[in-house]
Structures are given as C-alpha cells and as structure tokens.
Amino acid sequence: MDSILVVNAGSSSVKFEVFAVAGPADLSRQVKGQVDGIGTQPRLRAHGADGAGIVDQRFERDQVPDVPTALHTAGTWLREEHDIDPIAVGHRVVHGGPKYDKPVLVDANVFAELQQYIPLAPLHQPNNLAPIRSILERFPQLPQVACFDTAFHRGHGTLADHYAIPEPLYEQGVRRYGFHGLSYEYIAQRLPQVSADLAQKRVIVAHLGSGASMCALKGGRSVESTMGFAALDGLPMGTRPGQLDPGVVLFLVEQKGLTAADVQKLLYSECGLKGLSGITNDVRDLEASNDSRAAFALDHFVYRIGLHAGMLAAALGGLDAFVFTAGIGENSVSLRKRIADTLDWLGAKLDLAANAAGRSLISRPDSRVALYVIPTNEELMIARHTLAVLAQARPIGGQ
C-alpha cells in the first residue's frame, strides 16, 4: 500500500509519521516516531498504529551529528525494518513568506526561494529546510511537499495584514503573517464534527505549547492572529517573549551594545517563561515548583492570554467558543481553569469536573461561551495536503 512520510524537523530533533494511503482521502497513521538528542545523545524512538513501542535505539554522538543524518537514520530504519518506501514526503515549513499561500511541490527553485525566508524565522526555517535539502540530494525523484504555518492566515483582510509602516515595506514582505496555521486549519476542520454549527460561529483557538499563539476564526477561516511578522509576537512562549515594544530592541543595540546575533539569541532562546522564571521553559516543572519566580512566570502567561483573548474577541465582534489545543492546552488542567477565569467577563463558565476529567466540552450549560479541548494534529494536516498536491499529478492509493 502507498504511504506518505511526514517530517517536522527542529534544531535537535526530527519528528516523523508514516501514513498509509488507502484512497484519495483515506489516510491512516502507521508509525509515529522521532530522533531526538541530535548531536548530543541521539535516540530513535517510534510507535506503531496501536501505540505500542516498536523501536528505542540509542546512538553515539558522532553517529547522528545533524538533522540530515537523523532523517537518513530514520528513513533507513523505516525501509529496512518495515519495508516503507513513501511515494512522497510532506514537510512542515514555518514561513511561506509573501509568495506561498498554499502547499507547494518543492524543486530547486522553490527551495532557493524558501531559503530567502530564513531571516523571518531563524529558529525554525533552517531546520525545516535541512531535510528537504537532504532528500533533494539523495532522492531527487521523490516528491516533496512544503506545507506552511503561515498559509492558513493568508486570507486576512488588509487591515489585519498591515503594520503602520510605509507601503513599500509591506510590498517587500513586512506584514503580519501569523503562525501555527497547520494546527488552526486542523482544528477548523474538526469544529463541525465537535458541534454541528460551531464552525460557523466566532471562535478563538489557543495553541498553547512551547510555541504559543491564538487565532480568531469566523466561519472556519482565520481573521486575526496574535503572531505577526515573525514567530516572536503575541503571547509569551517557552523561550520567546511575545509582544515586545520595538524600542526594547533599539535600547539593547544602542545602549547595551548587543549585536543582531545577540538580540536574536536573546529573543528566541532566553526570554518567555524561561526568562521570567530563571528556571525553565517547561510548564510542568513550573507548575510543580515552589519558587515564586515560577509562579510569576505562569501568572504572566495567563494574564497575557487573557489580554489577547479580549483583542481577538473584539476582532470577531463577540465570542461564541474558546478552544484549547497543543501540549499545554490539551494537558494542563490548572492552566485551563486559570485561563477560563480570565474569560469570565465574556460569559465563560468552566465545568470543573469536566475540565479535570479532560473532556472535550468543559464549559457549564449556562456558559455563554462554550469551552472545548480539541487535540491538534498538524502531521495529519500535512499528510492531507501532501496527498492533495500529489493527486494533482497522478492517481493515488491502493495496492
């Protein structure tokens, strides 16, 4: 049976999933795994369709020194141990820039253009592109599809899309893009299955993980996002500051003598929950800590989410539902409660028992704003896009 490989590459890990293709719209996950600890303590782990572990293998540091080697290691294991030879590879690429508003088949020209967007997402884009380059070099005939985190937001109106800067800069690509689009697109497709009329209503989706943002949906389409030009704006994140006065950057450069590289490292790696707490960016550790700095970091996180929820509700002209998703949103009972409390002025009423039980609907019957927990699935979204792009070129599916 045909299969599609989905790759989500970071700086120290490569996550991958294999989806069997039974037909044009019939995908089922067969393998989910990752190679993490790249360059330090490399480890390949994977689970089968039933969730059972099928490999847990450690390597010496120099055996898996970089992302391309990690992908090659995972690919060799898939071929040799499971006879998986994908018909295409789908990749998460954070930034599509001003040109790419939908998934695209990657060739050398497309790859060169995507490299130009590295300055817009320096933490993510190089790692997203590394496995694409590796496959282009090793398997040039294997179709690869780039799926962009910015694409879902490209339908924003011009008012939401602009900064108050000279128009030539906008034309050159300095605009509000928004991110986590693959996650929001998946949630938008799930809404009608959760509640028949929910997709047509005014919904805020909170993608809360190490990277965090929120998106305003109306009629299942993105109309506003907390993130903008780069994946730094909006909510505080694990190691990123969120909304920040540009004057702070000028101060750091002019008064503190930081270079552009210094500022980049600070904003992407040393701020957010990690910077506020001085301890860690892991919410689980912060929740378990008795340190007052940990408590303050979480207080700040919740406070800013509440502020931005008000902004998005204003963009929507009201609010009918609020959805929690991603690692923190799906798993932290206490933060869901605290965030729901900040939405009380909008009419949100949390059902404590439903929240503690991890149910999908966690609001009380008398709540004017429905509260939901909906697990996201960016990898399945990528697989769907990859299949659709590939299907334009040739028939897909079957034995």
Indicate which residues carry an active-site annotation.
Answer: 149
Question: Are 317 and 331 in contact, with CB atoms under 8 Å apart?
Answer: no
Asked if residue 234 lies in contact with residue 226, where contact means CB atoms within 8 angstroms, the answer is yes
- Strand order of the β-sheet with 202-208 is 221-225, 212-218, 202-208, 321-325, 370-373
**Cβ-based neighbours of 178, under 8 Å, separated by 6 or more:** 150, 152, 153, 156, 213, 215, 222, 225, 227, 228
Which pair of structure tokens corresponds to residue 88? 């295409």
- Cβ neighbours of residue 365 under 8 Å, at least 6 residues apart? none
**CA–CA dist 374, 384 (Å, integer):** 19
For residue 370, what are the CA distances in angstroms to 81, 99, 212, 340, 373?
A: 46, 36, 21, 10, 10
User: Distances in Å between the alpha carbon of 116 and those of 3, 15, 44, 205, 263?
Assistant: 31, 24, 31, 30, 20
Q: Which residues contact 154 (CB under 8 A, 6 or more apart)?
A: 96, 101, 177
In angstroms, the first-to-last Cα distance of the chain is: 5
Whole-number Å distance between alpha carbons of 123 and 180: 14
Instruction: For residue 338, give the H/E element and its range.
Output: helix 333-342
Dist. CA 253–CA 260, nearest whole Å: 8
Look up residue 335 and give its two tokens: 């933060």
C-alpha 37/C-alpha 66 separation (Å) is: 10
- In eight-state DSSP terms, residue 100 is -
Q: Rg of the Cα trace of the chain?
A: 21
Give how far Cα 97 sits from Cα of 119, 162, 267, 304, Å.
11, 14, 21, 27
